[in-house]
Structures are given as structure tokens and as C-alpha cells.
Amino acid sequence: MDADHKPNKSVDDQKTDQKKNLKDEAQAIINKINADTTLTTDKKNEEIGQVQKDLTTADDNIDKAADAQAISQAYQLGKDKIDADYVPGTPATDHKNAQKSNLNAEAQRVINAINADNTLTNDEKQAEIRQVNSDLTQANQNIDNAQTADAIDAAFNTSKTTIDADHKPGTPATDHKNAQKGNLKDEAQKIIDAIKADTTLTDQQKQDQIKQVNDDLAKYDQLID
């Protein structure tokens, strides 16, 4: 019976072994995190930071253990926590679809802003909307071509900036009115100068025509206002 008692490694040696096992486990989890293309760089760094934090805590718990049973429990608890720190990201297809949906909503918001912009002519609105739709098509293609979570988000962010920039407000209404009234005034002056220089007209005819020009100018100024 005396031979039935077979001592294990010393407590210190068991602690050293289990801490090494935990370190190896933590590295295996970190490798999985780094290899996961569904995780963004920020998310990877966050998960790796948690692994390292849990490894430190587990090592401390092992150091505090008084016997083999406590060492084993501290190891298992630490391993379970470290294993749980790796949380895969959104599958690439789902991630792409979500970002394309976000871009579609953003494009529609920009189109609505263009349509509501009374500083733009109808032709200008249509040109800007065509550009939004063209950029949206290219953006969706870029997202489809992305291979990692970071690349998907980068394609989204770049495309959102491009689409947002497609709405270019026109000249403010007051400035537009003043510019067009200025153009009309210049045109009216050219006609008046032509009338005055026309030797086929009597003075009375010139006065009558100039009056008509000024009357028409006043009327169209009012229409512009």
C-alpha cells in the first residue's frame, strides 16, 4: 500500500506548467483573432487586449493557488475565459449587404436633398442625381470586391464621402435672381443702344421703342423676383 502514493510534480512546477499551457492557449486564440477576416483591426485589437488581460488574471490566480486542485481550477477558469475572448465578426456576405444597404439609404438621402434644393435647375438636379446613382453602383462593386472587414468598411466610408459630395447646391436664389436681372439689364441696354443708333427711326419712334424696352425690363424683373 505504501507504493500506492505517487506524488505529482511539486506545486511550483505545476504552476509553471499550467501558466505555460495558458500562455500557449492565449497565443493560439490571438492567432485565430488575427487570421479572422471578418474582424476589423479595431475589433481584433480589442479582443487581443482582452485575451492578454485574462491571461494576466489567470496567471495571478494560479500563483495564488495553494494545491494541485486549486491550480487546476485556476487554469481551467482562465482557459475558458481566454477561449471566450475570441468572438468572430459578422460573416463577410452579411457585412457587405449591411454596408450596401447603408449606402443605398445614404444615396437616397442625398437624392432627396438634391430634389428639395431650389437653387438648382431641373437639369442640374438630374445631372447630380445621375452622378449619385453612378457612384452608388461603383460603391457596391467596391464593397463586393472587398476581402476583409477593414476593406469593406473602407469601401463604405470612401463611397459615402463621394456620394455626399455629389450634392452641390446651386447659386443662392437671391444671387441667382440678381445675376439674371443683371443679364437682362445688359441686354436691354444693348437694344436701347441699337435703337438710338438706328438712323431709320425718328426721335419719337426711338423714344417709343426705348420706353417699350424699359417697360419689358421692369415686367421681367418682376417675374424673376
Q: Summarize pLDDT for 173-187 with one digit per residue, the tens.
A: 677 778 788 888 899
Q: Can you give the C-alpha Rg of the chain in angstroms?
A: 38
Q: Tell me, yes or no, if the pTM score tops 0.85.
A: no
Confidence at residue 150, expressed as pLDDT on a 0 to 100 scale: 96
Q: Summarize pLDDT for 62-79 with one digit per residue, the tens.
A: 999 999 999 999 999 999
